[in-house]
Amino acid sequence: MDDSYQVIVVGGGFAGKTAAEELGRKGVRVLLLDANNYQQFQPLLYQVAASQIGVSTVTRPLRSEFRGINSVRVLTAEVTNIDAANRTVTTADGSSYRAQALVIATGAVPNFFNTPGADEHAYPLYSVADATRLSAAITAVLDEADREPGVDADVIVVGGGPTGVETAGALAENVKYLVPKYFSPELAARCHVHLVDMVPNVLAAFSAKSQAYARDRLTKLGVQAHMGTAVGEVRPNGVTLKDGTVVPARIVVWAGGLQAGRIITESGLKQGRGGRVDVQPDLTAPGVEGVYVLGDSANITDADGNKLPQARVSGAAIGEVGGPQYLC
Ligand SMILES: Cc1cc2nc3c(=O)[nH]c(=O)nc-3n(C[C@H](O)[C@H](O)[C@H](O)COP(=O)(O)OP(=O)(O)OC[C@H]3O[C@@H](n4cnc5c(N)ncnc54)[C@H](O)[C@@H]3O)c2cc1C
């Protein structure tokens, strides 16, 4: 058991990395653990998935980010167990670490809401690995449809929140601007992008003006929206909606929701909505000493008691004028 650190931070995303930086600049001895040796910039994952940018644009090596902050040690290791009560973490190689304070910032994982077939057949989009896998799958479908006349290359995006809207928009941009250029206009005519959500409007959590703008942009890009009906089943060749409508497609992208991962479930911490920890205003987890939960792993309220969203849209693009430049 290594107990030489004052603080252990699990997860080097936006939340954990910022916490480790702030502590490190104050000279606190921090161990930062992440399963990857890079921080991923999730807001642009949809462009990686659409092959419009490369992976290097959305990843930053964690060690280089901490160059010059000597009291922070970065370790690439998957944490397999968190014992919150004892502020102890165990990594995949069996090593254990204990500290005076534990910061949990492990983000989130897809929530398929027990939709039959979704786990097996849908492509989630919450990590660099997800984005590159999806990009490769879409490319393979395009290549196959290019070889075989008459084969369609439709994609369904499930979830009309920010991730789904951005992804559907980027894929439709490809169909409009890039597929005709790099493949053929004839193939582009066999590529359709569908957006499905159980609620009637896209961007349901946003203003009516934003919803109308997004809907208008998506329509102009050719996205076919199927709103107001939940997905009943995901199959290898499309989805069946709960009203019985069958929407065929070669690929189904899942942007339908998030939940805290297994690591939180097994930590002994009490879980609230979405499996996240309902933290107190100072981000401490209730019922244990010295444990903080940050970012997408936590349900956080503002000073007035309002729940903060896990994600805020930064005005990311749907439908840039003139379209994207690359189909990488
Ligand atoms: C496609 C997409 C688009 C988005 N767009 C926007 C946007 O435009 N604007 C915006 O504000 N927000 C956006 N968000 C949300 C935003 O990216 C998240 O709210 C933010 O990344 C959460 O930060 P975090 O540090 O809590 O988690 P993450 O950034 O997910 O970081 C969690 C880290 O923990 C590590 N980890 C997880 N489990 C383990 C383990 N067991 N062991 C070791 N390491 C582990 C992971 O490798 C990861 O590095 C978007 C999210 C997605 C998925």
Whole-number pLDDT of residue 321: 37
What sign for the dihedral angle of Cα 214, 217, 223, 228?
positive
Identify the residue whose C-alpha is closest to ligand 1 atom 38.
106
> Among the atoms of ligand 1, which is closest to the Cα of residue 294?
26
User: Can 2-108+260-299 and 110-254 be said to share one CATH topology?
Assistant: yes
Hey, which of 75, 103, 106 would you mutate to test ligand 1's pocket, going by the most ligand atoms within 8 Å of its Cβ? 106
Distance 108 CA to ligand 1 centre (A): 7
pTM of this prediction?
0.90
Residue 183 scores a pLDDT above 60? yes
Identify the residue whose C-alpha is closest to ligand 1 atom 27.
107
In this prediction, what percent of the chain has a pLDDT beyond 70?
95
pLDDT (average), residues 83-91: 97
CATH class as words, domain 2-108+260-299: alpha beta
For 116, the 3-state DSSP assignment is coil
Identify the residue whose C-alpha is closest to ligand 1 atom 29.
13
Residue 208 scores a pLDDT above 90? yes
Question: What are the Cα distances from residue 210, in Å, to 160, 163, 218?
Answer: 13, 14, 12
Question: For the packed helices 162-173 and 208-221, what is the interaxial angle rounded to 10 degrees?
Answer: 30
Who lines ligand 1 at CB under 6 A? 10-16, 33-36, 40, 42-43, 45-46, 78-79, 105-107, 125-126, 162-163, 261, 263, 295-297, 310-314, 316
Whole-number pLDDT of residue 302: 83
> Which residues partner with 241 through β-bridges?
231
Distance 295 CA to ligand 1 centre (A): 8
Residue 48 scores a pLDDT above 60? yes
Whole-number pLDDT of residue 227: 95
Residue 178's Cβ-side half-sphere holds a number of Cα atoms within 13 Å equal to 17
> Which residues partner with 38 through β-bridges?
61
Whole-number pLDDT of residue 115: 96
- Token digits of residue 247: 């929407």
**Rounded Cα distance, 278 and 293, in Å:** 9
Model confidence band, residue 4 (pLDDT cutoffs 50, 70, 90): confident
> Does 166 participate in catalysis according to the annotation?
yes
Residue 175 scores a pLDDT above 70? yes
Identify the residue whose C-alpha is closest to ligand 1 atom 9.
313
Hey, which of 9, 18, 37, 42 would you mutate to test ligand 1's pocket, going by the most ligand atoms within 8 Å of its Cβ? 42
Taking all residues of the chain, what is their mean pLDDT, rounded to a whole number?
92
**Rounded Cα distance, 7 and 4, in Å:** 9
Least confident of 151-165, 209-223, 258-272, 309-323: 309-323
Model confidence band, residue 318 (pLDDT cutoffs 50, 70, 90): very low
Q: Which among 21, 166, 186, 289 is annotated as catalytic?
A: 166
Higher pLDDT, 161 or 323: 161
Domain edges within the chain = 2-108+260-299, 110-254
* Residue in the block written with tokens 């992976």: 55
Provide long-range contacts, Cβ within 8 A and 24+ apart, for 301-306: none
**Rounded Cα distance, 290 and 326, in Å:** 48
**Rounded Cα distance, 96 and 1, in Å:** 5
pLDDT digits (tens, 9 = 90+) for 49-64: 999 999 999 999 999 9
* CB-based contacts of 48, cutoff 8 Å, min separation 6: 54, 55, 57, 58, 128, 131, 132, 135
Distance 42 CA to ligand 1 centre (A): 6
Which CATH fold topology does 110-254 show? FAD/NAD(P)-binding domain (3.50.50)
Whole-number pLDDT of residue 319: 35
